[in-house]
Chains A and B, each alone.
Chain A
Amino acid sequence: MAMKSRHRKLALITLVVAILGVAVALVLNAFNSNLVFFFSPTQIANGEAPTSRAFRLGGLVEEGSLKRQADGLTVNFVVTDTAKSIPVTYTGILPDLFKEGKGVVAEGKLGSDGLFTATQVLAKHDENYMPPEAAHALEQAAKAQQTVVE
């Protein structure tokens, strides 16, 4: 009887450990390949961003930079953190709150020619809302400029 109960416990613990092990393996694997990092225009200009994997770019849409291609669906615009600017191209419908001079976050890949091809453009919430990534990029750029002046 004692043996049986010990066996049972062992079997249960093995089961639990096995399930958790599988879950942890899946998590680690997914984490590695699916984390999306964020880079500011200054970081990209400094060559810190990868060209092999997708990442997020944030900042302000530069005034007067929005151009629409003849197909009506492809747009080009420039994202700036006031220090450096990165050209972006995107095919699709832009979100309601996408506007020149407002904050934006784009997810996509950086080409070797320096053009960022976005697969997703995020600009949501209310008029005065700034995506945290975009705000972060502006802050960093402002700080960098200050240190230069000093």
Chain B
Amino acid sequence: MIPELGHFALIVALLLALTQAILPLYGAQRGNLTLMGVARPAAQGQFVFVALAFGCLAWSFLNNDFSVLNVAKNSFSQLPEVYRFTATWGSHEGSMLLWVLILAFWSTAVSVFSRHLPEDMAARVIGVMGLISVGFLAFLLTTSNPFVRLLPAAMDGNDMNPLLQDWGMIIHPPMLYMGYVGFAVAFAFAIAALLSGKMDVAWARWSRPWTTVAWAFLTFGIMLGSWWAYRELGWGGWWFWDPTENASFMPWLAGTALIHSLAVTEKRGAFKAWTVLLALIAFSLSLLGTFLVRSGVLSSVHAFATDPARGAFILGFLAVVIGGSLVLYAWRAPKMVTGSGFTWFSRESLLLANNVILVAALGSVLLGTLYPLLMDAMGLGKISVGPPYFNSVFVPVMAPALFLMAIGPLARWKEASLPDVITRLKWALGVALAVGLLVPLGLGGFKPWAALGFFLAAWIALSVLAGFVDRLKHGQGSLVHKLSTLPRGFWGMQLAHFGMAVGIAGIAVVANYQTERDVRMELNSYAELAGYTFTFRGTTEHDGPNYRAARGTLEVSRDGRQVATLHPEKRVYNASGMAMTEADIHPNVYRDIYVAMGEQLDDGGAWTVRLFYKPFINWLWFGALFMVFGGFLAASDKRYRIALRRSEMPKHVAAQGA
């Protein structure tokens, strides 16, 4: 009964989404307040029913209802309870349901936090989000129904893909989708603005906190995905330029450009048309990412689905959304009035450079991701575009943006003085150059890319410092008082920029100075790597809840001092018979020691073992966390709430007058 209830709830949600889309959009066009008023309750009702459907699916997973096809395919009676819950979104159908749930969640959030918006604007934003919900709910119901029954019921399930049985994967998809789908809010604001023709500064102020929050979630989601791949795939890599990774990275690049151009639009009224276009692009890329990962056109860790009907549906939906919004844009954008001018050296021009570079980088990733697919689709042969392409294009294209990133926050709006900025940053440039030259030597050999990385990291970090010095020079009171009165928007930006510096430092070290060895290890033999000695103490049988493992013991020591005892495992999962390498890691702030088991070589207990020394790898995750925190902090800036109160006032007064 429960799965049928879920199915029914989805149908009701689709009807509510249709209501949420059609009535308010029509009402906003006709100036009918009653119809516009439908938007909020419809969105909230839709959320309730999608949540009910999601709950029904989760219930089926938790209770091992193997008469549901999706459960039989993706769960297993021996699977630990927490993974039975996360298996809800481990499959194609479940993850699309999660997509719809998060979209409904964002719509509801907009319906609650949009009291300060003009009624027609709120109705249009919620209506556009309703249209997107309609598309995805129809997709679920027609091609990907998660509640399909299996008759007769399976005795037991096929188990969840073992790679996904990791707690990084518990939170990675929801966080990633919060980001992906969050750009739907920015998209809806852009479409609403185009429909109403009101492209004012207020529009940028409304959509800015939403966009920043979505960006922060997406950053967190990508970080978790990278962290999961590093720990779980057993190859010690943290970024493979795999199409599924690029699928989430492209919206991130567009979103990063968007939050910067929104700043210009809000503060200076410039770049209006460009900002709207970026909002459309960011969400279009989220949809493209969903299409790439979910249609089965790729063959990768995430892409389980292979059903042409699904691909055709998403492709059609993609064409309608992207095509429709671009047509609307082409029609309305020329009417937008450009804001005040600026000189060649100003914060605007630096942010423009940031945007151009980010979009160029985005283009290079898009080309490398889609080119093999296009070649294949046209029957021109199979090719692959791997990390060497992306590294040799992406790094040089992004380096100037990272250099300018340190200057931008110190430049004034409209017209900045180059001599003034040079005066304030010349010491930083000197120190950064010294860091770039000397640190690689200290780490065991000069490498140009490492030097560039350290230079940029130091340069950005020092400019953050210079930014604080600049702000604290003036004004009265103690240092603590001054720091606490700085706006959160400023703190958020500086934290995020500092996080970038930390991340770049991490990448520069780990990409250039990591070492690894594949070795054959006999019982009680030892191997050396990066000054550490690894002694192999053999393996023992170990039974997990739904797998059997050979569990190795390696003692790690340095200069005769014990550092760690690691237990990497080679698992064989009971249901699928699939083998999996579970690495073991000893982390600290400066390095990870990473050990993975290869294969048993003979009956004497010899194994092949893979040893990694990963310096500064954790700086990557720290850097990303700074960026996430900075994003949330900036979105909570008082300014948006003041703007909210101010815009409420006239409405209140008007109501009294009426």
- A binding-site residues for B, Cβ under 8 Å: 5, 8, 11-12, 15-16, 19-20, 22-23, 26-27, 29-31, 33-38, 56, 68, 71-73, 91-94, 96-97, 124-127, 129, 131-133, 136
Give 14 pairs: A residue, B residue, CB < 8 Å, sorted on A.
A12-B349, A23-B397, A26-B393, A30-B389, A35-B384, A35-B389, A36-B386, A56-B382, A93-B598, A93-B610, A96-B581, A97-B579, A124-B301, A127-B576
Chain B residues contacting A38 (CB-CB under 8 Å) are 381-384
Complex-state Cα separation, A6 to B364, whole angstroms: 30
Complex-state Cα separation, A87 to B535, whole angstroms: 35
A-binding segment of B350-358, B541-549, B628-636: B350-358
Asked whether, in the complex, the Cβ of B385 is within 8 Å of the Cβ of A36, the reply is: yes
Asked whether, in the complex, the Cβ of B579 is within 8 Å of the Cβ of A16, the reply is: no
Asked whether, in the complex, the Cβ of A131 is within 8 Å of the Cβ of B299, the reply is: yes
- B binding-site residues for A, Cβ under 8 Å: 161, 234, 299-301, 341-344, 349, 352-353, 356-357, 360-361, 363-364, 367, 381-386, 388-389, 392-393, 396-397, 400, 518-520, 576-581, 596, 598-599, 601, 606, 608, 610
B366 to chain A, nearest CB (A): 11
Given A73-B520, A96-B580, the answer on whether A26 and B392 have CB atoms closer than 8 Å is yes
Complex-state Cα separation, A127 to B384, whole angstroms: 23
Complex-state Cα separation, A22 to B353, whole angstroms: 13
Complex-state Cα separation, A124 to B304, whole angstroms: 12
Query: Which residue of A has the minimal Cβ distance to B382?
Result: A38
Asked whether, in the complex, the Cβ of A11 is within 8 Å of the Cβ of B344, the reply is: yes
Contact residue among B349, B581, B601 (Cβ-Cβ distance under 8 Å from A68): B601
Contact residue among A11, A36, A126 (Cβ-Cβ distance under 8 Å from B383): A36
Given A22-B397, A36-B386, A97-B579, the answer on whether A15 and B356 have CB atoms closer than 8 Å is yes
Chain A residues contacting B299 (CB-CB under 8 Å) are 125, 129, 131-132
Chain A residues contacting B353 (CB-CB under 8 Å) are 15, 19
Interface centre among A56, A68, A93, A133 (most CB of B within 10 A): A93
Contact residue among B349, B393, B576, B606 (Cβ-Cβ distance under 8 Å from A126): B576
Given A8-B344, A11-B344, A15-B353, the answer on whether A34 and B599 have CB atoms closer than 8 Å is no
Contact residue among B357, B381, B577, B608 (Cβ-Cβ distance under 8 Å from A72): B608
Asked whether, in the complex, the Cβ of A92 is within 8 Å of the Cβ of B577, the reply is: no
- Majority secondary structure, B binding face: mixed
Asked whether, in the complex, the Cβ of B581 is within 8 Å of the Cβ of A73, the reply is: no
Complex-state Cα separation, A20 to B355, whole angstroms: 12
Complex-state Cα separation, A131 to B610, whole angstroms: 24
Query: Which residue of A has the minimal Cβ distance to B385?
Result: A35
B295 to chain A, nearest CB (A): 14
Complex-state Cα separation, A12 to B363, whole angstroms: 20
Complex-state Cα separation, A33 to B343, whole angstroms: 40
The 10 A-B pairs of least Cβ separation, nearest first, read: A72-B520, A93-B598, A38-B382, A34-B389, A23-B360, A34-B388, A30-B392, A96-B579, A36-B384, A30-B393
Asked whether, in the complex, the Cβ of A126 is within 8 Å of the Cβ of B381, the reply is: no
Contact residue among A26, A36, A96 (Cβ-Cβ distance under 8 Å from B397): A26
A132 to chain B, nearest CB (A): 5
B361 to chain A, nearest CB (A): 8
Query: Which residue of A has the minimal Cβ distance to B360?
Result: A23
Complex-state Cα separation, A21 to B385, whole angstroms: 21
Given A26-B392, A94-B598, the answer on whether A20 and B356 have CB atoms closer than 8 Å is yes
Complex-state Cα separation, A120 to B549, whole angstroms: 26
Asked whether, in the complex, the Cβ of B577 is within 8 Å of the Cβ of A94, the reply is: no
Chain B residues contacting A29 (CB-CB under 8 Å) are 392
A106 to chain B, nearest CB (A): 12
Asked whether, in the complex, the Cβ of A31 is within 8 Å of the Cβ of B360, the reply is: no
Asked whether, in the complex, the Cβ of B364 is within 8 Å of the Cβ of A23, the reply is: yes
Asked whether, in the complex, the Cβ of A8 is within 8 Å of the Cβ of B343, the reply is: yes
Query: Which residue of A has the minimal Cβ distance to B401?
Result: A19
Complex-state Cα separation, A27 to B384, whole angstroms: 15
Chain B residues contacting A35 (CB-CB under 8 Å) are 383-385, 389
Query: Which residue of A has the minimal Cβ distance to B610?
Result: A93
Asked whether, in the complex, the Cβ of B518 is within 8 Å of the Cβ of A34, the reply is: no
Chain A residues contacting B396 (CB-CB under 8 Å) are 22, 26
Chain A residues contacting B349 (CB-CB under 8 Å) are 12
Chain B residues contacting A23 (CB-CB under 8 Å) are 360-361, 363-364, 393, 397
Asked whether, in the complex, the Cβ of B578 is within 8 Å of the Cβ of A126, the reply is: yes
Complex-state Cα separation, A91 to B520, whole angstroms: 12
Chain B residues contacting A33 (CB-CB under 8 Å) are 388, 392
Complex-state Cα separation, A23 to B361, whole angstroms: 8
Complex-state Cα separation, A93 to B393, whole angstroms: 30
Query: Which residue of B has the minimal Cβ distance to A18?
Result: B356
Interface centre among A19, A22, A34, A133 (most CB of B within 10 A): A34
Contact residue among B343, B352, B357, B578 (Cβ-Cβ distance under 8 Å from A97): B578
Complex-state Cα separation, A59 to B416, whole angstroms: 61
Asked whether, in the complex, the Cβ of A126 is within 8 Å of the Cβ of B384, the reply is: no
Given A8-B341, A37-B383, A92-B518, the answer on whether A30 and B577 have CB atoms closer than 8 Å is no
Chain A residues contacting B610 (CB-CB under 8 Å) are 93
Chain B residues contacting A19 (CB-CB under 8 Å) are 353, 356-357, 360, 400
A sample of 15 more A-B contacts (CB under 8 A), given A8-B343, A26-B396, is A8-B341, A8-B342, A15-B356, A19-B360, A20-B360, A31-B389, A34-B388, A34-B389, A35-B385, A38-B383, A73-B608, A93-B596, A93-B598, A125-B299, A126-B576
